[in-house]
Amino acid sequence: MHVPKPLDESLVSRDPWLRIIEDVTLYFPFGIIFLVAGKILDMQDPSSLGKKLGMYTITVLAGLFVHGLILLPFFYFLLTRKNPFTYIRGLLQALVIALATSSSSATLPITMKCLLENCHVDRQIARFVLPVGATINMDGTALYEAVAAIFIAQVNDYELDFGQLVTISITATAASIGAAGIPQAGLVTMVIVLTSVGLPPDDITLIVAIDWVLDRFRTMINVLGDALAAGIIAHLCRKDFPSSDEKPKMSCGVQNVQNMPMTEVPLLASKDCVFEVIGDT
């Protein structure tokens, strides 16, 4: 098969870049090791870093657990008066995909499928809420960035006052809105949070080694928040959107069955619409 010249040239130029990306990905773990090792050597008490990283990991996971299994279900129950865990059970497939891919954008089709088939959310609401939520609703990322900023401040023996804690909370929320729905996008926006309170952005290397684990759990919370928001909106707007079992029927017009063959009458009656019949019956 003949390949057009522009397409052939683009394919030829693509192969070297793919090879470069594969090589960089292969050596990426070694780069992380040297980044963390250099930071550890600069510390006065390197032995305490492991304990602090462990406590940091536990704190982030505990915060995500409280937010995802207590706060979000509580608000869902408060606004809908429905069992949130029955709703969440229908999202298990999407949550597993979020845990595996670390990307809310990659999980979006599965989340849409779960909402439509398992949770019975209106299609129009799901198609509007989920893409918007996958872009701006990053509550798990915001929680992670706030805790990470406080952890970096403690490692540097930097005391944060109440005003700086408020600044971190607001900045982390705003920065998470701009985070992309791709793996470890929170590390990029972490620079904004750290510079807002005068912390060195270079200390992000302290959390790079364990970020790939935490990223999977905060992606689950992001996806869960999007799905619960869609369920809340579907409940509040239930009068404005007919359910799937109550599809609006269209008029088929006026039909004269007086001279119509008897074999065509059942076909006319089986149509999913409202029709008027004239003639003798």
Please state, for a pLDDT cut of 70, what percent of the chain lies above it.
Answer: 75
Please give the Cα distance from 269 to 251 (Å, whole number).
12
Asked if the model's pLDDT at residue 243 lies above 70, the reply is: no
Q: Average per-residue pLDDT in the chain?
A: 80
pTM for the model stands at 0.74
183-201, pLDDT tens digit by residue?
A: 777 788 888 899 988 888 8
User: Terminal CA-to-CA distance of the chain, rounded, Å?
Assistant: 65
Where is pLDDT greater, at 172 or 256? 172
Quick check: 87 and 76 in contact, CB under 8 A? yes
Tell me how crowded residue 103 is: count the other CB atoms within 10 A of its CB: 22
pLDDT: which is higher, 114 or 13 = 114
pLDDT of residue 229: 95
Amino acid type, 173:
T
Q: Once rounded to an integer, what is the mean pLDDT over residues 261-270?
A: 49
125: exposed, middle or buried (Cβ count in 10 Å: 0-12, 13-18, 19+): buried
Buried b (16+ CB within 10 A) or exposed e, 157-176: eeebeeebeebbbebbbebb
- pLDDT score at 66: 96
User: Closest by alpha carbon to 43, among 157, 159, 145?
Assistant: 157
3-class DSSP state of 230: helix
CB distance 40 to 155 below 8 Å: no
Mean pLDDT of 56-72: 95
Q: How far apart are CA 53 and CA 213, in angstroms?
A: 13
Q: pLDDT tens digit string along 104-153?
A: 888 999 999 999 999 999 999 999 999 999 888 888 999 999 999 999 99
Counts of helices then strands in the chain (DSSP H, E): 12, 2
Q: Which of 26-35, 79-88, 190-199, 263-272 has the lowest mean pLDDT?
A: 263-272
Cα(102)–Cα(109) distance, integer angstroms: 14
- Residue 93 burial (10 A CB sphere; 0-12, 13-18, 19+): middle
Flag whether pLDDT at 275 surpasses 80: no
Length of the chain: 281
At a CB cut-off of 8 Å and minimum separation 6, what does 102 contact? 183, 184, 212, 215, 216, 219
Look at residue 273 and tell me whether its pLDDT is greater than 90: no
